[in-house]
Chains A and B, each alone.
Chain A
Amino acid sequence: DIQMTQSPSTLSASVGDRVTITCRASQSVSSWLAWYQQKPGKAPKLLIYKASSLESGVPSRFSGSGSGTDFTLTISSLQPDDFATYYCQQYNTFYTFGQGTKLEIK
């Protein structure tokens, strides 16, 4: 089974900051990597697919990069609405989620 490891588990940042979350796969997933945002009590929302493609309607301050085993999600300038938990997910072989990164207000 493919394991996904995210870091950090928790990230404290301020509005306007640039933040980066990393995700590492235990084996290559090519570019079959997605990023989701989840707020308390809500379903996850797809942000990025195929490692770097922005889902329709998602603000351009979100971007993704990487291939193979190492991936990053970057938010260029944090907005108040961005404080949430973020998950990476591989879908090269079924699906595996990372453990999540909680983005908190500093």
Chain B
Amino acid sequence: EVQLVESGGGLVQTGGSLRLSCAASGFTFSSYEMNWVRQAPGKGLEWISHISTSGGTGSYADSVKGRFSISRDNAKNSLYLQMDSLRAEDTGVYYCARPGYSSGGGLDSWGQGTLVTVSS
């Protein structure tokens, strides 16, 4: 069974940093690209970052570019999101999500999410 489990969320002050982790199991992690998607309280879904299978290429939404950094450790079956210079508008639930080959690239597996709260 595919499992994605996020951790690392919490309360952080404006301007602070946080590192999220996503532990993957039940599939060959190194064969899949991965993404982070977030959801502000009461709002819609926002894609924020993507990483290639090797970890050599990361892409970001404009809203987080230059502040967030995505990485992965295929030996540890783990995905990370380093978040710096956090703002109030970064508050929300952060999900890691996997695009599936059998689902034509749709995000077929999601973690349960981890809540990040940025407050002054």
| Residue contact A32 to B108, C-beta cutoff 8 Å | no
By size class, the interface of chain B is 20 to 34
Within the assembled complex, what's the spacing in Å between the Cα atoms of A34 and B104?
9
Residues of A within 8 A of B106 (CB): 34, 46, 48-50, 55, 89, 91
Query: Are B47 and A94 interface neighbours, CB within 8 A?
Result: yes
Q: Is B73 an interface residue (CB 8 A)?
A: no
Nearest CB in chain A: distance from B78 CB, A? 18
Stretch at the interface among A14-22, A65-73, A76-84, A95-103: A95-103
Proximity bits, B68-96, A CB within 8 Å = 1, else 0? 00000000000000000000000000010
User: Which residues of chain A from 41 to 64 have a CB within 8 Å of any chain B CB?
Assistant: 43-46, 48-50, 53, 55-56
Smallest CB-CB separation from A33: which chain B residue? B106
Alpha-carbon distance A38/B43, docked complex (angstroms) = 12
- CB of A42 to closest CB in B, whole Å: 8
Report if B56 contacts A (CB, 8 A): no
A46 with B59: CB separation less than 8 A: no
- Residue of A at shortest CB range from B48? A95
Which of A1, A55, A97 sits near B108, CB closer than 8 Å?
A55
Alpha-carbon separation in the docked complex, A28 to B82 (Å): 33
Residues of chain B with a CB closer than 8 A to A98's CB: 44
User: Would you call B99 an interface residue if the criterion is a C-beta within 8 Å of the partner chain's C-beta atoms?
Assistant: yes
Q: Chain B: residues with CB nearer than 8 A to chain A?
A: 35, 37, 44-47, 50, 59, 62, 95, 99-100, 102-108, 110-113
Having A89-B107, A100-B45, one finds 6 other A-B pairs with CB under 8 Å, namely A34-B103, A43-B110, A44-B45, A46-B103, A49-B103, A87-B44
Q: List 8 A-B contacts (CB under 8 A).
A: A1-B62, A43-B95, A43-B111, A49-B104, A49-B105, A91-B99, A91-B105, A97-B47
